[in-house]
């Protein structure tokens, strides 16, 4: 399930990714939907903290905003449906 948040002056759609750097982490990807020139952003969270396909639904907006603050830019814009399932 995707979620939307407002952060850094824009609206972002976030989703869980299937592309993890290690089995114990769950990547969360943020795609800017108000400015297609913004690069997508990723944060990796422990699977103990984020587990299951509905994990984003269980987080508050404040939790998602805090996770957004921990993201790193992936360098260039990318359309969100094409990224990692």
Instruction: Give tens-digit pLDDT for 18-50.
Output: 888 889 999 999 999 999 889 999 999 999 888
Token duo for residue 81: 């449906």
Rg (CA), the chain: 12
Q: How does pLDDT run across 54-77, given as a tens digit for each residue? A: 889 999 999 999 999 999 988 665
Nearest to 70 by CA among 15, 30, 38: 30
């Amino acid at each position: 399930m995707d979620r939307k948040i407002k952060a850094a002056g824009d609206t972002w759609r976030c989703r869980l990714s299937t592309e993890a750097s290690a089995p114990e982490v769950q990547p969360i990807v943020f795609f800017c939907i108000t400015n297609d020139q913004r690069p997508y952003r990723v944060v990796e969270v422990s699977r103990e903290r984020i587990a299951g396909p509905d994990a984003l639904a269980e987080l508050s907006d404040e939790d998602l905003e805090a996770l957004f603050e921990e993201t790193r830019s992936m360098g260039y814009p990318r359309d969100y449906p094409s990224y990692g399932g």
